[in-house]
Amino acid sequence: MLELLGTIGGNALGLPGILGLALGMMTRRLWLGAAMGALIGVIETLLFAGWQIAHVEALELMIAVVVGICAGSLGCLIRRIGATA
Amino acid sequence: MAASPENRGWIRRLWSWIWTPAVAFSSGFLIIAGFLAGILFWGGFHWTLELTNTEEFCTSCHTMETNLGEYRETIHYNNHSGVRAICSDCHVPHEWNHKIKAKIMAVKDVYHELAGTISTPEKYEAHRLSMASAVWKKMKASNSRECRNCHNFDYMDFTLQETRAASEHQRAIDNNMTCIDCHQGIAHSLPSDYLETYQKVTEALDSKTPGAAHQQVAENGEQIRSFLTTRTDQ
């Protein structure tokens, strides 16, 4: 449980959360925002696993991707509400 | 958004203020202001986080003083090269995401401090093995990441090491072993039955990640420890 919360927090304050949000803010297309967030999640997990697929933990990957998707979608919503163009 | 302003609560007014395009400020002004605010905020955040990495912070809880005392007797506190490893060097990762994770998980420390889980020496000793297991589990799973922030097999000159250390380290490389497999109790006292527990911890981890299984525990833990202790006491 703690492990899970910690991983989520680490991701939300890390690349998936922050870069995901920023990328999401660049598009009005929800699916694109979410997809970019997810991609950042994958990249970050790989990065911290030293680019070795064998070192990737399924749960960590999943959490990073989910956090990325949430951040990307949120960024996209911010774009939709907060920009006139 | 056309409702008359008087009818709206302050939350809704704030909400629409946030999302209405700014009239008085240029985009450049807003970007620069946001950038500066971001730097200040992040700097402050990071600084606060670093404060929670100091020895003073860790030992501000008296329950952590048992470990402080034990650790002060060891080589990581005082040594001939004058490099010190403090609590956070061994217990808090450097990598951002692992660090945030560790800090969030440490919230349970606060809970247990309030609940008094380890408030007396007797309770501490009763609980030590389970706490140590938690640390071992983390270190084993991360290939002793925190040790490797300072030490590395690649940087070791085996010809300068004691023969036994060099050959054990060669064995460690060959068998894919990690620092904590042999160096338990490097900074704190160990309960007498620690090796069995350590074995259980690693077996549980191994069964989760098949293929990593090996006989990965030092055969002569006692000897390593007594050797290292006598050396530190010099």
pLDDT tens for each residue of A5-25: 998 998 999 899 999 999 999
- The answer to whether residue A63 scores a pLDDT higher than 80 is yes
Residue A47 banded pLDDT, cuts 50, 70, 90: confident
Q: Is A71 within a domain? A: yes
Is A44 a member of any domain?
yes
Q: Which amino acid is at B6?
A: E
Would you say A73 and A23 are in contact if contact means Cβ atoms under 8 Å apart?
no
Q: Which pLDDT score, from 0 to 100, does residue B89 have?
A: 94
Q: Token digits for A18?
A: 């922050």
User: Does B100 contact A81 at a Cβ distance shorter than 8 Å?
Assistant: no
Residue A55 has pLDDT above 80, yes or no: no
Quote the tokens at residue A45.
Answer: 């997990």
* Residue A70: inside a domain: yes
Taking CB atoms and an 8 Å cutoff, what residues of chain B touch A44?
A: 97
Mutate which: B23, B97, B103, B138, vs A, most A CBs within 10 A: B97
Reported confidence tier of residue B222, pLDDT bands at 50, 70, 90:
low
A20 in a domain, yes or no? no
Residue B159 — pLDDT band, cuts 50, 70, 90?
A: confident
Q: Does A1 touch chain B (CB under 8 A)?
A: no
Question: Which domain covers residue A70, as residue numbers?
Answer: 35-78
pLDDT at res. B215: 47
Q: Do A6 and B104 touch (CB under 8 A)?
A: yes
Among B18, B95, B100, beta carbon nearest to A13? B100
Number of structural domains found in chain A? 1
Structure tokens belonging to residue A21: 């949000």
Interface probe for B, chosen from A7, A25, A40 (most Cβ of B below 10 Å), is: A7
Mean per-residue pLDDT, B92-96:
91
Phi, psi of B170 (to 5 degrees): -65, -45
Q: Over pLDDT 70: what percentage of chain B?
A: 85
Check residue B234 and give its pLDDT.
38
Residue A29 counted as domain residue? no
CB-CB neighbors (< 8 A) of B98 in chain A:
10, 48
